[in-house]
Chains A and B, each alone.
Chain A
Amino acid sequence: MAEIKLKLKKPLVFPLEAESITPDNFAGKSNDEIKKLVAYSGNEESTLGQFFNVSGKSGEKDELKIIIDGDISNVKRIGEKMTAGEIIINSDVGMHVGNEMSGGKITVNGNADDWAGAMMKGGELEINGDAGNYVGAAYRGYWKGMKNGIIKVKGKVGVESMLWADGSVPAKRFPTLICGSAGSFLGIHNNGGTIIVEGDIDRCAGADQIKGMIVVKGTAPKILPSFKKIGEVKEIELLNGEKITGKFIEYAGDHSVKKNHSVVDKKTGELNKGVNGRLYIAA
Chain B
Amino acid sequence: MAIKKIKTLYDVICPFCGTLCDDVEVDIAENKVVEVRNACQIGTKKFFSSNPSEHRYETPMIRKKGKLEPASWEEAIDKAADILTKAKRPLLYGFSSTECEAQSKGVELAEMLGGILDNTASVCHGPSLLAKQDVGQPGSTLGEFKNRADLVIFWGSNPVHAHPRHLGRYSEFVRGYFRKDGRNDRTIVVVDPRNTHTAQIADLYIQVKPNEDYELLNAIRALLRGVELDVEEVSGVPMDQIKELVNTLKTCNFGVIFFGMGLTQSLSHHRNIDAAICLTRELNDHTKFLITPMRGHYNVAGANQVFSWNTGYAYSIDFSKGYPRYNPGEFSAVEVLIKNQIDASLIVASDPASNFPAASARNLFKYPLIVIDPHETPTSANADIVLPAAIAGIEAEGTAYRMDNVPLRLRKVKDAPGESISDKEILEKLIEKVKEKRGE
Binding site for B on A (CB under 8 A): 13-15, 17, 40-45, 95, 114-115, 133, 139-141, 143, 160, 184-185, 188-189, 204, 207-208, 222, 224-226, 228-229, 254-258, 262, 264, 269, 271
Contacts and interface: CB of A to CB of B under 8 A. Distances in A.
Nearest to A185: B271
The 7 closest A-B pairs by CB, nearest first: A43-B114, A42-B88, A256-B221, A226-B222, A141-B133, A225-B219, A42-B89
Nearest to B325: A17
B218 A207 contact: yes
A208 B274 contact: yes
Interface string B121-156: 000000000100110000000000000000000000
Given A204-B215, A225-B219, 13 more contacts: A14-B88, A15-B341, A17-B321, A42-B89, A43-B113, A114-B330, A140-B328, A185-B271, A204-B271, A255-B222, A256-B278, A258-B285, A271-B227
A115 B219 CA distance: 30
B89 A14 contact: yes
Contact of A225 (B113, B115, B218, B329): B218
Interface stretch (B228-236, B388-396, B423-431): B228-236
B391 to A, nearest CB: 32
Nearest to A133: B329
A229 B231 CA distance: 11
**Interface-centre pick from B130, B214, B281, B319 (highest chain A CB count, 10 A):** B214
A140 B215 contact: no
A164 B282 CA distance: 20
A208 B277 CA distance: 12
A262 B321 CA distance: 46
Nearest to A138: B134
Contacts of B285: 258
Interface string B219-253: 10110011111110010000000000000000000
Contacts of A228: 227, 230
Given A14-B88, A95-B330, A207-B214, A225 B229 contact: yes
B320 A40 contact: yes
B307 interface: no
A262 B326 CA distance: 35
Contacts of B113: 43
Given A14-B89, A204-B271, A207-B271, A256 B326 contact: no
A141 B88 CA distance: 29
SS of A interface (majority): loop
A229 B230 contact: yes
Contacts of A271: 227-228
Contact of A224 (B89, B215, B274): B215
B226 A264 contact: yes
A49 B219 CA distance: 55
Contact of B88 (A41, A133, A262): A41
Given A204-B268, A225-B222, A140 B227 contact: no
Contacts of B130: 140
A269 B275 CA distance: 24
A139 to B, nearest CB: 8
Contacts of B343: 13-14, 42
Given A15-B341, A43-B319, A225-B234, A256 B271 contact: no
B127 to A, nearest CB: 12
B287 interface: no
A42 B282 CA distance: 45
**Interface-centre pick from A133, A208, A262 (highest chain B CB count, 10 A):** A208
Contacts of B330: 95, 114-115
B121 to A, nearest CB: 14
Contacts of A255: 222, 225, 227
A206 B226 CA distance: 20
B327 interface: yes
A224 B115 contact: no
A262 to B, nearest CB: 7
A14 B221 CA distance: 45
Contact of A226 (B134, B229, B271, B281): B229
**Interface-centre pick from A45, A224, A225, A226 (highest chain B CB count, 10 A):** A225
B278 A208 contact: yes
Nearest to B319: A43
B334 to A, nearest CB: 14
Given A44-B88, A204-B271, A256-B222, A226 B227 contact: yes
A255 B343 CA distance: 49
A163 to B, nearest CB: 9
B320 A269 contact: no
Given A43-B115, A208-B274, A226-B218, A256 B225 contact: yes
A269 B226 contact: yes
B221 A140 contact: no
Contacts of B234: 225
Interface in B250-285: 268, 271, 274-275, 278, 281-282, 285
21 contacts: A14-B341, A15-B341, A41-B88, A42-B88, A42-B114, A43-B113, A43-B114, A141-B134, A222-B215, A225-B215, A225-B231, A225-B234, A226-B221, A226-B222, A226-B229, A228-B230, A254-B218, A258-B282, A264-B225, A264-B227, A271-B228
A257 B281 CA distance: 11
